[in-house]
């Protein structure tokens, strides 16, 4: 079938093909001759050839076959790049014109290539392409007959729609509150758990094992049990409250309590992660420090305050950063617990809602881009502050 | 004069006494606090799982009548298999278990196949952009899954592979590979390079050195990576929701369980499903706990 393609679209097709072919060609030549210069020459040659070919294919065929062809090409190159050098790697068959150092580097590239390709195709490319999607008016119903690389319908509508939608700012603020309080609580619980478990006592290993349960169990099953524990009809929490004369409510769907519950869940599920890190660091603090402090007359609380906690500062920094990033990105927990109802809507759930409730792919991509931008800024600020702190 | 010095010494001993007693008091309070917290932590982490087991055995009518029955009756215990049978047979959990096993085991094997040579390259071989590679691994690891979810959803729809298991295995691998590379790298760094050098001098090729020298030495690390990869793939639900919801034949266990969470399904069955999905993870964990806790901090496993 013949599609009408614009010049821009055609150029992008050609460029993508040339890039894909070029990298592939480079690897092929490189792995055959073990010489970057010959690899580059081969890459350019194959790249140009495949670029022209790709433009022609793009002119004649749909986007689907473009992707298919690219996958086939990459698989072929992957196989070739793994198999071909193997034939030469064995002892005694190496090319005398290349140095040992080069051959080792070749091998390293060869060994990392499959991982590199998967990460490129599944993480880096979608990440970049998400930016393009965010500026295009794409609905769910437009799939699967979509022109993947068109830039003609460039628009800011998605961002307008998203930012002006009701409650978007609230969602942003709530996401930050959720992330920071969840992170701090999880680290605090982890610290207490580590302090409590650090010294030997009967059953210590068992207790340590239990402490990791919330973290290793499948998210869906812990969510389901939380829902039942805090359920209005027969949840144990309500039996307790009832006995004390309180009112029965469903904690996860009442607006007054749901957000607190979601933060508590976050702390409960992820404190084991902080616990393990802090415990490992506490056990590495030299005993001399405590002995010296004891001789100087420092009480246990003073030893905790002036030795243990300062020694843990670096761990707190790392933990806060990691947990902040992961909590900020987290989708499943709150989505499964409340679905974003009862004042618990978060940015990640907004992405899902835009995709499946509003059926608006472009808007979903726009929210995702906003999320990534916020994350980038926050982590950047943190790193800057953190590095200054370290000096 | 003398009384003054006497008073001073008395004052000093009194101060010493009070300092000693502060130590004692704090130690005593600390010990009490410690046990209070241990009990608190054990109850709040282990009890929900016990309750899951409990609710999976008692019929919903009994749960409504006696919400606080901590130990099921003998008759309920004798009939415990009833709810599990219903879940496995009537709600197709057998299929989901099959899907989950296929997805997890293939993800584990492919991840190990790629990550072992990759981690070896990053630790032992010298090449340009090496540190860039390490940073790249770390970066990928931090990246929001939901953000790549949208473009992947579009691409997979376009290719028509959205509901397929191979499609989701590749996505899982993009998540497990960085973890595996990171954990294996930190382990390989602790191995002495001399052994490998000896093998190389004796005429082993690099690949057979990895196979014959590095792998046998790394059994604990490889085991913990395998288990973590398995857990990640087994527990994963975000991409399963995004990609597989429309094709019930490819549902994995977490997705199947989530679809079961509707008004019509008795909670007993829901809890039975939860137990089925949780047990393998907990059993694996207790068997390999020593490897796992070490691996967890070494690789900073994402969650």
Instruction: Please state, as a whole number, how many other Cβ atoms lie within 10 Å of the Cβ of residue B225.
Output: 30
Give how far Cα A270 sits from Cα of A187, A195, A264, A358, A374, Å.
8, 17, 10, 32, 22
Distance, in angstroms, between A46 CA and closest chain B CA? 24
Residues 162-191 of B with CB under 8 A from A: 170-171, 173-174, 177-178, 181
Angle at which helices A100-119 and B165-188 pack, to 10 degrees? 140
What SS3 class is residue B210? helix
A98 and A212 share a domain?
Answer: no
Q: Using a CB–CB cutoff of 8 Å, tell me whether A99 touches chain B.
A: no
CB contact under 8 A, B170 and A118: yes
**Which of A99, A125, A155 is the endpoint of a domain?**
A155
Domain range enclosing A360 = 161-390
The DSSP letter of residue A243 is H
Of the candidates A138, A155, A172, which is a domain's last residue?
A155
- 36-65 of B, contacting A, C-beta below 8 A: 37-38, 41-42, 44-46, 48-49, 51-52, 55, 63-64
Element spanning A84, H or E:
helix A63-89
For the stretch A100-156, pLDDT in tens is: 777 777 778 778 878 887 888 888 888 888 888 899 888 888 876 666 666 677 888
* pLDDT of A243: 85
- d(CA A373, CA B127) in angstroms, rounded, equals 33
**Cis peptide leading into A170, omega within 30 of 0?**
no
- Cross-chain CB nearest to A300 (options B23, B63, B117): B23
Is residue A1 assigned to a domain? no
Same-domain check for residues A212 and A253: yes
Axis crossing angle, helix A219-229 with helix B2-57, rounded to the nearest 10:
100
Selected residue of B58, B118, B131, B154 to mutate for chain A interface (largest A Cβ count, 10 A):
B154
Q: Are A37 and A104 in the same domain?
A: yes
Query: What per-residue confidence (pLDDT) applies to A299?
Result: 86
Contacts of A362 (CB under 8 A, 6+ apart): A133, A134, A135, A136, A137, A138, A139, A155, A157, A158
Q: Is A188 on the interface with B (CB under 8 A)?
A: no
A343 and A294 within one domain: yes
Using pLDDT thresholds of 50, 70 and 90, give the confidence band for residue A90.
Answer: very low
| pLDDT computed for residue A91 by the predictor | 40
Q: Report the candidate in B293, B291, B295 with the shortest Cα–Cα distance to residue B185.
A: B295
Q: What is the pLDDT of residue A300?
A: 86
pLDDT band at B60 (very low <50, low <70, confident <90, very high): confident
Residue of A nearest to B282 (CA): A217
Same domain, A167 and A272: yes
Find out whether B57 and B213 touch, Cβ atoms under 8 Å.
no
pLDDT digits 0-9 by tens, B139-161: 777 778 888 888 898 888 877 78
Task: Tell me the torsion sign for CA atoms A314, A317, A323, A325.
Answer: negative
DSSP character for B90?
I
Beta bridge partner(s), residue A360: A139
Q: What is the DSSP letter of A360?
A: B
Contact yes or no for A118 and B68 at CB 8 A: no
Q: Which residue has the higher pLDDT, B74 or A31?
A: B74
Q: Is A376 on the interface with B (CB under 8 A)?
A: no
A121 plus A242 within the same structural domain:
no
- CATH number of the domain that A274 lies in? 1.10.3720.10
Residues belonging to chain B: 303
Q: Give yes or no for residue B12 having a pLDDT over 60.
A: no
At residue A217, the pLDDT reads: 94
The token pair at B252 is 């994995």
Q: Can you tell me the distance from the alpha carbon of A111 to that of B123, in angstroms, rounded to the nearest whole number? A: 12
């Amino acid at each position: 079938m013949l599609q009408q393609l614009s010049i821009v679209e055609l150029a992008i097709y050609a460029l993508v093909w040339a890039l894909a072919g070029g990298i592939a060609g480079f690897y092929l030549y490189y792995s055959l001759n073990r010489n970057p210069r010959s690899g580059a020459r081969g890459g350019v040659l194959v790249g140009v050839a495949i670029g022209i070919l790709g433009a022609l294919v793009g002119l004649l065929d749909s986007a689907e076959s473009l992707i298919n062809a690219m996958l086939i090409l990459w698989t072929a190159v992957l196989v070739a790049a793994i198999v071909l050098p193997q034939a030469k790697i064995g002892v005694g068959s190496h090319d005398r014109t290349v140095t040992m150092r080069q051959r080792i580097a070749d091998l390293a590239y060869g060994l990392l290539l499959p991982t590199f390709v998967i990460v490129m195709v599944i993480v880096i490319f979608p990440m970049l392409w998400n930016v393009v999607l965010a500026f295009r008016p794409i609905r769910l119903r437009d799939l699967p007959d979509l022109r993947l690389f068109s830039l003609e319908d460039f628009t800011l509508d998605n961002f307008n729609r998203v930012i002006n939608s009701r409650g978007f700012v609230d969602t942003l603020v709530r996401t930050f509150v959720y992330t920071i309080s969840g992170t701090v609580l999880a680290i605090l619980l982890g610290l207490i758990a580590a302090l409590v478990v650090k010294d030997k006592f009967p059953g210590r290993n068992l207790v340590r094992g239990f402490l990791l349960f919330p973290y290793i169990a499948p998210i869906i099953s812990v969510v389901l049990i939380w829902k039942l524990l805090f359920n209005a009809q027969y949840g144990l929490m309500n039996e307790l409250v009832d006995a004390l004369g309180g009112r029965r409510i469903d904690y996860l769907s009442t607006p007054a309590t749901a957000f607190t519950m979601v933060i508590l869940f976050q702390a409960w599920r992820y404190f084991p992660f902080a616990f393990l890190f802090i415990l490992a660091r506490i056990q590495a603090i030299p005993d001399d420090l405590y002995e010296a402090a004891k001789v100087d007359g420092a009480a246990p609380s003073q030893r905790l305050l002036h030795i243990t906690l300062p020694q843990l500062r670096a761990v707190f920094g790392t933990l806060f950063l990691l947990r902040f990033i992961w909590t900020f990105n987290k989708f499943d927990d709150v989505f499964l617990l409340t679905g974003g109802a009862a004042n618990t809507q978060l940015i990640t759930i907004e992405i899902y809602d835009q995709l499946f409730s509003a059926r608006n792919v472009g808007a979903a991509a726009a929210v995702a881009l906003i999320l990534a931008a916020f994350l980038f800024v926050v982590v950047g600020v943190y790193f800057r502050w953190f590095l200054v702190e370290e000096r | 004069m003398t009384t003054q010095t006497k008073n001073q010494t008395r004052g000093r001993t009194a101060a010493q006494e009070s300092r000693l007693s502060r130590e004692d008091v704090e130690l005593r309070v600390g010990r009490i606090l410690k046990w209070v917290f241990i009990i608190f932590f054990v109850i709040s982490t282990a009890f929900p799982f016990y309750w899951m087991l409990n609710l999976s055995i008692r019929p919903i009518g009994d749960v409504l009548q006696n919400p606080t029955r901590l130990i099921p009756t003998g008759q309920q215990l004798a009939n415990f298999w009833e709810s599990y049978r219903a879940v496995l047979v009537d709600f197709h959990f057998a299929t989901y278990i099959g899907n989950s096993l296929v997805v997890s085991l293939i993800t584990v094997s492919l991840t190990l196949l790629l990550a072992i040579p990759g981690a070896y390259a990053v630790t032992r071989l010298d090449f340009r952009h090496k540190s860039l590679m390490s940073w790249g691994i770390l970066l990928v690891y931090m990246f929001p899954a939901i953000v790549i979810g949208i473009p992947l959803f579009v691409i997979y729809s376009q290719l028509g592979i959205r509901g397929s298991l191979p499609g989701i295995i590749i996505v899982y691998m993009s998540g497990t590979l960085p973890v595996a590379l990171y954990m294996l790298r930190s382990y390989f760094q602790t191995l002495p390079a001399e052994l490998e050098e000896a093998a190389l001098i004796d005429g082993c090729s690099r690949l057979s050195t990895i196979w014959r020298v590095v792998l046998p030495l790394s059994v604990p690390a490889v085991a913990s990576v395998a288990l973590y990869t398995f857990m990640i793939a087994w527990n994963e639900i975000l991409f399963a929701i995004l990609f597989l919801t429309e094709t019930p034949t490819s549902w994995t266990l977490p997705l199947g369980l989530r679809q079961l969470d509707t008004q019509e399904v008795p909670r007993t069955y829901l809890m039975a499903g939860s137990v089925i999905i949780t047990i393998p993870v907990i059993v694996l964990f207790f068997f390999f706990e020593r490897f796992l806790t070490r691996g967890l901090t070494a690789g900073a496993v994402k969650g």
